[in-house]
Amino acid sequence: MQPLTFLPLAVIACVLLIHSQSRAQETAAKAYEKAYNDILDEKWSDAQKAFAGLIKKYQKSSLLDAASYWYCYTRDKIGEDKEQVFGCYRDFIKSYPKSKWVNDANSNMVRIAYQLDREGKPEYGEIVKGLNDTADEDVKLAALYALGNMGSEKAYASIVSLYDQMPSDNFRSKIVYILGNFDSPASRKKLGEIALKDPSTKVQKDAIYAIGNSDGPESVDALKQVVRSKAKAELRTAALYTLGNTEGDSAATFLGEIARTDADVTLAKAAANAIGNISTDVASRELRRVLKEAVDLEVRKAAMYALGNQGNAVSVSALKDAAMNDPDDELSKAAAYALGNVGGEGAIGALEEIAGQSKDPKVQEAALYSLGNVGGDGPKKFLAQIALTSTNEKVAKTAVFALGNLSGGHDAGLMLDIVRKAKEPEVRKQALYQIGNNSDDPAAIKVLGTCAKEETDPELQLAAVNALGNTGSDEAVPILTDIARNGGNKRVRSTAVNALGQIGTDKARAALLEILEMKPKGKE
């Protein structure tokens, strides 16, 4: 029997102490969670009592700093004497200078100090004035946001004063953000000055974006001033795009003028793009003017693409006019494609008119492709008509391509009608290939089989056989096998064999083996 071993009393005491501390921490955490839930429920009195009890009972808890902060916070919310609450936050910061809650406490102190200053206790106003260059930047930021939330004229004056004193670009950017939240002519004027004069390009840009966050003619005027200035091109460009986000007719008219007349092509293009963000008829009319009057082709193209994104009646009319009459072929084509992105009955009507009346075949083709992308029964009938009646072989083939792209355009019966009635052999071939692209439709394979066996035109017959191979479907195997065995001439039979090889399935390979074993036909 092993002798009993006894632990030293010191070790036992240490273990018991660790266990006791662990349980205390666990109990403190539960108490903190319960008190914090009262904060979330805005039960300020209950939370205050709970945090006061936690602070008294758990002096060694790791949550003591958080509990101390929330204790001050609840006193603030209950509406206790401001000076006592101010003192509570100040004592908290002295006791826990490294706590994560220090910035929040500083922010609250600034707010209370500002209120006390307005109530006739100027000594508390010194905390606002005390943000000098030696203070910690996090503390300054906390105070800055507190001032911004007050939103008064005196707070605004204090923030402007801080801006004038700050060497830090980062801090001035934060001040610019706060100034953007002051909805007043004075703040927009100050932001305009910053946008033009601050030594940091980043701060200047931040000021431009801050101006754009507030509505009103003062904002538009401030941004116009930046555009007209001799500032860097990137700042003027930022002001142009910011103007485009203001949704105002005054801004649209100004941007149109810049797009038409500015000698800097990059800025003129930016102005045209910015107009596209303004969804009014005035903006569309300005884009139409730019499209007609701008000297540089790239600027005109920018206006054309912006019109395509607007999609109203004015933009449809302008794009149609450009497609039909613009002297630049590339822009005319692009206008037809842009109409396809607009969609709707107005755009469809315009595209059909362009496809039917344009004197440029390339523009006609662009309009046909756009109709194929728009979809619907109307474009389907129109495309089929062009395929059957156009005297331009390439235009007619394009109509067949567009039908194939059209949702619901894979209509074997419709394509067969084109095969039988189209004027040009190449158009009829293209219709056969489009039927072959619809491999999931048994009716399409049946139509191809009929053409492959009965068509009297040798070229169309070969096109039908190749289209059967393109389907990749086992449904085509028996048709091709029959043609390979019994086709009218050697070329057709050989093409059918190649088509079986293109299908490449087990069924097709079995058919090829059977063909290899059959007796050759007599000489042709």
pLDDT at 383: 92
Residue 440's pLDDT is what?
Answer: 64
Contact (Cβ atoms closer than 8 angstroms) between residue 82 and residue 115: yes
Which is higher by pLDDT, 63 or 433? 63
pLDDT at 524 over 60: no
pLDDT at residue 149, rounded to an integer: 65
Last residue of a domain, one of 118, 133, 165: 165
Task: State yes or no: pLDDT of 209 exceeds 90.
Answer: yes
Q: Which of 75-89, 284-298, 338-352, 461-475 has the lowest mean pLDDT?
A: 461-475
* Kind and range of the H or E run holding 275: helix 265-275
Q: What is the CATH number of the domain that holds 105?
A: 1.25.40.10
Segments forming the whole domain that contains residue 501:
412-524
Listed residues 136, 165, 194: the one ending a domain: 165
Place 128 in a pLDDT band, splitting at 50, 70 and 90: low
Question: Residue 99, exposed/middle/buried by CB under 10 A (0-12, 13-18, 19+)?
Answer: middle
User: What's the rounded Cα separation, in Å, for the pair 220 and 441?
Assistant: 59
pLDDT value for 13: 44
Within-domain flag for 173? no
The span from the first CA to the last CA of the chain, in angstroms, equals 111
Radius of gyration from C-alpha coordinates of the chain: 40
Q: What is the pLDDT of residue 88?
A: 93
Q: Is 511 contained in some domain? A: yes
- DSSP conformational letter for 120: T
> Higher model confidence: residue 207 or residue 344?
207
Look at residue 116 and tell me if it is in a domain: yes
pLDDT for the residue 131: 44
| % of the chain surpassing 90 pLDDT | 38
Would you say residue 228 has pLDDT above 50?
Answer: yes
Q: Is residue 180 part of a domain?
A: no
Last residue of a domain, one of 139, 165, 191: 165
Task: Determine contact, residues 340/374, Cβ cutoff 8 Å.
Answer: yes
DSSP 475: G
- pLDDT over 90 at 50, yes or no: yes
pLDDT above 60: residue 135: no
pLDDT band, very low/low/confident/very high, at 152 (cuts 50, 70, 90): low
Q: Which residues contact 128 (CB under 8 A, 6 or more apart)?
A: 110, 113, 114, 117, 143, 147, 158
Measured in degrees and rounded to the nearest 5, phi and psi for residue 81 equal -50, 130
Report the CATH number at residue 472: 1.25.10.10
Q: How many CA atoms lie within 13 A of 407 on its CB side?
A: 5
Residue 339 lies in a domain: no
Least confident range from 21-30, 99-108, 380-389: namely 21-30
Average pLDDT (150-173) is 77
With a cut of 50, say whether residue 19 has pLDDT above it. no
Flag whether pLDDT at 275 surpasses 90.
Answer: yes
What was the pLDDT predicted at 146?
66
pTM for the full predicted model: 0.62
Single-letter amino acid code for the residue at 259: A
Residue 136 lies in a domain: yes
Q: What is the pLDDT of residue 126?
A: 67
- Which string of b and e fits 77-89 if b means at least 16 CB within 10 Å? eeeeebeebbebb
Mean pLDDT over 365-391 rounds to: 89
Region 329-354 average pLDDT: 91
Residue that the structure tokens 């649209």 belong to? 252
The total number of structural domains that make up the chain: 2
User: Could you report the per-residue pLDDT of 314-334, keeping only the tens digit for each?
Assistant: 999 999 999 999 999 999 999
Quick one: what percent of the chain has pLDDT higher than 70?
A: 87
Other beta carbons within 10 Å of 129: 12
DSSP 8-state secondary structure symbol assigned to residue 522: P
Which range scores top for mean pLDDT: 12-21, 295-304, 486-495?
295-304
Residue 445 in domain: yes
The answer to whether residue 434 is domain-embedded is yes
- Read off the pLDDT of residues 382-440 as tens digits, 9 standing for 90 and up: 998 999 988 889 999 999 988 888 755 467 778 878 887 888 888 888 888 887 776 56
Least confident stretch, 6-15, 420-429, 467-476, 493-502? 6-15
Neighbour-count burial of 1, counting CB atoms closer than 10 A to its CB (0-12 exposed, 13-18 middle, 19+ buried): exposed
Q: How confident is the model at residue 151 (pLDDT cuts 50, 70, 90)?
A: low
Please indicate whether residue 216 or residue 174 has the higher confidence score (pLDDT). Answer: 174
